């Protein structure tokens, strides 16, 4: 590919870069990182949000709504995966000969500037594992650059620009984004059928993850969940370090407490460190093992793993405590896949609440349709279930599906067309000792926040 067709020819100090969908979880930090590297950054988004407000406050011009005049003066365009070719700004750029690059391509260029690139992937647990890894590397004073698909209280943001040799990057498989990266350490938490609006089936997802693992050079490391059958199958005949709960793995947890918050981590047959987590649940043992394994291969001492993980209280929207209403504790979580719901509900059952009141908003029509029976199976486990309408995200409802369809399959479930209706119902049913959980990758968190107001 000629250099003028590659993003590295444009991601240089003094160039004007325009970001389409700049308010997105990966786009907003990209804009801030590029500006920190000396570029002029502008952007656009469909709606104003906390993210766009933050960018504007930091001096970046953000246009609300997509119009061709927004790209005036830009040397290149970077677009979010959700921006289609019929977007007026993309169409205008093509007509004017301004190159258009994917978000992941830009992160790939940034990544190549670092000696160590830890790329954390998997269908579930990416944000938490990336956050835990960040805590460890910050504790070890490695001064990392970080990109997380959520907010981390330690950073007061979802990203950080460091001066060290390491970048820690949450790496998403959607649209094969992570295949644009240059990992020296590739972490795979687990592999399941998801993003079926892009992938054909589980086998297609597995092919993508295998290609991701193959990006790692001979001098690097692939670290993968040896207890996850899909991951093991995906990586068969590849060389990787495994983690899990079985002693046969390169990294394993031992002496695990009943709520899964306290355990020892063994690395290559030796005790590496003891961990006391402020978060619980079996899934977080796996997340901590993945983070610890990344630290181990980077030569970080076990004491930094212990201390770093001890200060981790969760990432934003990952079992995030929001407040109390009528003696009920309100938490918010990003879970939007049946396996994530399973892990979440199993973990909160260990906390001893009188009732689990779950307000769930499915994310995308395609996922709800493809995994319908799995959603029914997991959602039945709540004591009280409120279903908000499906959050469309990037989709149109060509699937003819609604949350009302889920409600019909689940005894005592109630369907609500709008979030204010969810809030109103929570207000009438909340009791002392309840756990009220707002769950989903859309804007369901607003229902809990409105309740607290």
Active-site annotation, residues:
126-127, 170
Query: In whole angstroms, what is the distance from residue 138 CA to residue 143 CA?
Result: 6
Sequence-ordered list of residues with C-beta below 8 angstroms from that of 394, at least 6 positions apart, any chain: 82, 197, 364
Q: Are 171 and 149 in contact (CB under 8 A)?
A: no
Structure tokens that stand for 190 in this block: 């687990």
Query: In whole angstroms, what is the distance from residue 284 CA to residue 380 CA?
Result: 23
Q: What is the Cα 218 distance to its own chain's centre? A: 27
Cβ burial of 200 (10 Å; 0-12, 13-18, 19+) is exposed
Query: In whole angstroms, what is the distance from residue 109 CA to residue 6 CA?
Result: 9
The SS3 assignment for 101 reads: strand
The SS3 assignment for 159 reads: strand
For 55, 59, 64, the CA distances from 45, given in Å and listed in that order, are 11, 16, 5
Structure tokens that stand for 101 in this block: 């690059």
Strand 262-267 vs strand 251-254: parallel, antiparallel, or unpaired? antiparallel
Sequence-ordered list of residues with C-beta below 8 angstroms from that of 224, at least 6 positions apart, any chain: 187, 188, 213, 231, 232, 235, 240, 241, 242, 243
Query: In whole angstroms, what is the distance from residue 258 CA to residue 365 CA?
Result: 37
Maximum distance among all Cα pairs of the chain, rounded to whole angstroms: 65
Question: Could you please report the per-residue DSSP string of 336-366?
Answer: -SHHHHHHHHHHHHTT--SEEEEEE--B-HH
DSSP 8-state secondary structure symbol assigned to residue 450: H
For 267, phi and psi rounded to 5 degrees? -125, 120
- Would you give the end-to-end CA distance of the chain in angstroms? 55
């Amino acid at each position: 590919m000629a250099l003028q067709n590659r993003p590295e020819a444009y991601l240089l100090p003094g160039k004007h870069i325009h970001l389409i969908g700049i308010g997105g979880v990966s786009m907003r930090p990209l804009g801030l990182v590029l500006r920190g590297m000396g570029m002029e950054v502008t952007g656009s988004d469909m709606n104003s949000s906390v993210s766009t407000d933050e960018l504007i406050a930091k001096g970046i011009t953000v246009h609300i709504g997509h119009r061709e005049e927004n790209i005036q003066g830009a040397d290149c365009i970077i677009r979010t995966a959700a921006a289609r070719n019929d977007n007026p700004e993309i169409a205008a750029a093509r007509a004017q000969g301004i190159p258009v690059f994917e978000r992941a391509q830009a992160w790939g260029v940034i990544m190549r500037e670092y000696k160590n690139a830890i790329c954390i992937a998997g269908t579930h647990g990416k944000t938490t594992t990336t956050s835990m890894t960040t805590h460890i590397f910050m504790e070890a004073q490695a001064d990392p650059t970080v990109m997380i698909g959520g907010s981390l209280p330690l950073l007061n943001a979802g990203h950080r620009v460091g001066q060290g040799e390491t970048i820690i990057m949450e790496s998403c498989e959607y649209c094969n984004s992570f295949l644009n990266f240059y990992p020296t350490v590739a972490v795979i938490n687990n592999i399941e059928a998801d993003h079926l609006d892009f992938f054909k089936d589980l086998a297609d997802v597995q092919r993508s993850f295998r290609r991701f693992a193959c990006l790692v050079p001979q001098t690097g490391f692939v670290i993968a969940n040896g207890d996850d059958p899909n991951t093991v199958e995906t990586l068969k005949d590849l060389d990787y370090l495994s983690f899990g709960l079985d002693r046969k793995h390169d990294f394993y947890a031992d002496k695990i407490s009943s709520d899964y918050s306290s355990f020892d981590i063994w690395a290559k047959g030796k005790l590496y460190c003891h961990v006391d987590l402020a978060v619980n649940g079996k899934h977080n043992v796996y997340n901590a093992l993945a983070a610890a394994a990344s630290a181990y291969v980077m030569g970080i001492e076990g004491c930094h793993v212990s201390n770093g993980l001890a200060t981790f209280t969760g990432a934003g929207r990952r079992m995030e405590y929001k407040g109390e209403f009528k003696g009920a504790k309100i938490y918010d979580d990003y879970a939007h896949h049946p396996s994530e719901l399973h892990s979440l509900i199993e973990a909160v059952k260990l906390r001893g609440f009188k009732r689990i009141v779950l307000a769930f908003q499915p994310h995308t029509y395609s996922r709800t349709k493809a995994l319908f029976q799995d959603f029914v199976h997991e959602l039945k486990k709540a004591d009280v279930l409120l279903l908000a309408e499906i959050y469309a995200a990037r989709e149109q409802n060509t699937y003819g599906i609604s949350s009302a369809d889920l409600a019909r399959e689940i005894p005592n479930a109630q369907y609500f067309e709008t979030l204010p209706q969810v809030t109103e119902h929570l207000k009438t049913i909340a009791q002392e000792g309840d756990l009220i959980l707002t769950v989903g990758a859309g804007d369901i968190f607003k229902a809990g926040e409105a309740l607290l107001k």
